[in-house]
Chains A and B, each alone.
Chain A
Amino acid sequence: MSITRTALEEVEKRFNRLIGTSATNLCTHCGWCVESCHVYLSTLNPELSPVAKTERVRRVLKRSHDWLSKLVPFWTGAADLTESELDKWVELAYKYCTLCERCVINCPMAVETPQIMGAIRGTLTSIKKSPEILDQLTGAEIAREDGLDMMREIFREHIVDLEKEVQEKLNNPSAKIPIEEEAEILYVPLSGVHTIIPPAVIFNYVGASWTLSMFESSNYAMFLGDIPRAKQIVNRILKEAERLNVKEIVLSECGHAYAAFRWEAPKWFGEPLKFKVSSILEVMDDYLETGVLTFDSSQNGEAITYHDPCNIGRKGGIFEEPRRIINVISSNYREMYPSREQNFCCGGGGGLVANTDWQDYRIETGKVKADQIRETRAKKVLTSCDNCLHQIQEISEYYDLNVEVSNVSQWAISALTIT
């Protein structure tokens, strides 16, 4: 069977009601979405507007799903899928669209461009045309399970060192970083210590019953639209949560991990998860509200701003939690414009940060974010996603923004009131 035919069959498997609605005659080609896209605004390339990008895919979908396009394809711009077009799709779905959903928010018809691009990512993965690095990272995440016994000892040794740092920060020699212990909270970090120490400090500060497991929260399979592997990655953490008898899974400041666990996984499994799933931001906000977490705001007059990660904000519904935390600590918070559901993607979303082949392009499309940051005149940028963090650090350097970039929890622990 030809690769195009296989690809079309894979597209059909993903052709659901959301995509079906957006795939034929919903889009009126009005062009309202054009200026909503950071890729278009940074490059001013009309072929990279949301509608132009989607149209390249839509014309193929129309060919098999739209009556008129079946009969007279030239009339609607419909076209058959070719091998060269498949190669173009790789760039469209993985490079030129970060699945940020800003175009959906600004489309009068609510055309679901990212849903279409997500389906195309899955299709390309199934025919082995997706970016190799994402596939390798997914493979590495899954392989982690095989070498678990060997890793366990190394991880425990590493955690002992981190525990000392936590004890020093809290001035509390009994502060702990529990691993694989029965607890109320299973905290799932990323691989960096900056996603382990701050939450460890906070959990110890409030006296929470918590534990780490051997797994990380990142889920590169989600970027690939590879649902079976994405489920596998989520499932092992769910199994750990069950084994450790926890009530809640708390995720590190990671955009796609939050989206995967909180919103997508229940859809993948076809049922709600047995555990409450929260971001560390929500948990910190709860601790603040109940008064168990207190901060000293006297030293924080530095101009500060917050970047809403797409997966946490526009796709996740977390807007006010980080702002409540920041505003308790900072007396000089400056809102980015636009922000919240209208915030611009940093340019590194959708797994783009992991792909070094497209680094120059990624920095180029970070221009919109760089301009937004510059306008705030902030000296520090906070965010809640490691991909955003990495991208903003790079664009800060490239565009001479001269800002420090940090996760919210990492920054917040420096202001804890410690007696």
Chain B
Amino acid sequence: MTNEYILHFIEYELQAIALMWMAVLYTIKIVQLSRLPISWERGEKKGNPTRGVLRSYGTIFMPWSMESSKTHLWRWAEFGLYHIGALVAIFNTFTFPFAPAMMTPFVRVLFAVLIAPAFVVGILKLIRRIGKQELRIISTPDDYFSLVSLQFFFFFGIMALLVGTPSWRMAYFLITAGFLFYVPFSKISHYIYFFFSRYLTGKRYGWRGVIPRLESKS
């Protein structure tokens, strides 16, 4: 079995299996969640629930809208850099095998430059999680494992982009597959719940005229 064959298997077949696995588990999760009862707002509407939902989804892009981000702008910037890096690293797992022509030296460097800050932020996050008591007492093995795994994901991603040898690519795609198998079980799956949570909260606050706030009578 050649390295080329193994790399091909890891980049295509293994990724496809892992993606299907993740899709099936997420579907089950979403169905389970959707089947839970919910009491929608029924009091006379004061605000605008649609605007509430849009604003709720947009909150994370508006650091001034939450005190937790307004007063800690650097933390918010870290959050942005980390998620941009993660998105690029995920996107990269598709462009490598499916759009090789797109992966010019410039694009490779650009992607690596976008992932690198996420790697640095990951280290800071890890230091904070260990060093700050209020984070340490709520941290579980899953928290540390997820954080460290992502560091490897970013690191192998950067190396696969900049060095690009089959062994770095293999490492990158192996950890990607491992991720896809693990993510539905871990806190990394927060991004699935995020859409439910932000929708439900935004709808309630919008309905009641809390967010966006009604400055004048309609």
Measured CB to CB, the residues of A under 8 A from B are: 15-18, 20-22, 24-36, 40, 46-47, 49, 51-52, 55, 67-68, 74-77, 104-112, 262-263, 265-267, 269-273, 276-277, 285, 289, 313-317, 319-320, 338, 340-342
Contact = CB atoms under 8 A, between A and B. Distances in A.
Interface in B106-163: 129, 132-135, 137-143, 145
5 contacts: A25-B190, A30-B79, A110-B201, A272-B42, A317-B210
B124 to A, nearest CB: 12
A25 B138 contact: no
The 7 nearest A-B residue pairs measured at CB? A317-B209, A266-B42, A77-B140, A46-B134, A26-B193, A106-B68, A110-B201
Given A21-B33, A263-B208, A320-B215, A108 B200 contact: no
Nearest to B211: A341
Contacts of A21: 33, 193, 196-197, 200
B1 interface: no
Contact of A104 (B60, B79, B132, B201): B201
Contacts of A315: 208, 210
A49 B139 CA distance: 13
Provide the main secondary structure of the chain B interface.
helix
Contacts of B211: 105, 341
Interface residues of B, number: 62
A108 B134 contact: no
A409 to B, nearest CB: 19
Given A29-B138, A109-B197, A36 B43 contact: no
A267 B39 contact: yes
Contact of B69 (A31, A75, A108, A265): A108
A46 B201 CA distance: 26
B5 to A, nearest CB: 34
Contacts of B187: 25, 27-29, 76
Contacts of B40: 267
Contact of B200 (A17, A106, A266, A319): A17
B14 to A, nearest CB: 22
Nearest to B198: A110
B210 A110 contact: no
Contacts of A24: 193
Contacts of A317: 46-47, 208-210, 214
Nearest to B57: A110
Nearest to A321: B217
B43 A55 contact: no
Interface of B: 32-34, 36-44, 46-47, 56, 59-60, 66-69, 71-72, 75, 79, 129, 132-135, 137-143, 145, 184-190, 193-194, 196-198, 200-202, 208-211, 213-217
Contact of B36 (A20, A49, A74, A105): A20
A262 B69 contact: no
Contact of A31 (B132, B209, B214): B132
B190 A27 contact: yes
Given A46-B133, A108-B59, A263 B41 contact: yes
A28 B190 contact: yes
A100 to B, nearest CB: 13
Contact of B43 (A105, A107, A273): A273
Given A47-B137, A271-B42, 19 more contacts: A17-B34, A20-B32, A21-B197, A25-B190, A28-B190, A29-B187, A32-B66, A46-B134, A46-B137, A51-B138, A55-B138, A75-B141, A76-B140, A105-B67, A108-B60, A108-B68, A110-B56, A313-B210, A338-B67
A74 B39 contact: no
B39 A16 contact: yes
Contacts of A265: 43
A316 B37 CA distance: 23
Contacts of A26: 190, 193-194, 197
Contact of A32 (B32, B38, B75): B75
A47 B138 CA distance: 9
Looking at B139, B141, B210, the one whose CB has the most chain A CB atoms below 10 A away is: B210
Given A51-B138, A68-B185, A112-B197, A16 B68 contact: no
Contacts of A51: 138
Contacts of A68: 142, 185-186
B208 A25 contact: no
B44 A276 contact: yes
Given A21-B200, A46-B133, A46-B134, A108 B56 contact: no
Contacts of A316: 208, 210
Contacts of B36: 15-17, 20
Contacts of A15: 36
Given A29-B138, A46-B137, A341-B211, A67 B185 contact: yes
A52 B137 contact: yes
A210 to B, nearest CB: 20
Contacts of B142: 68, 75-77
B67 A342 contact: yes
A46 B134 CA distance: 5
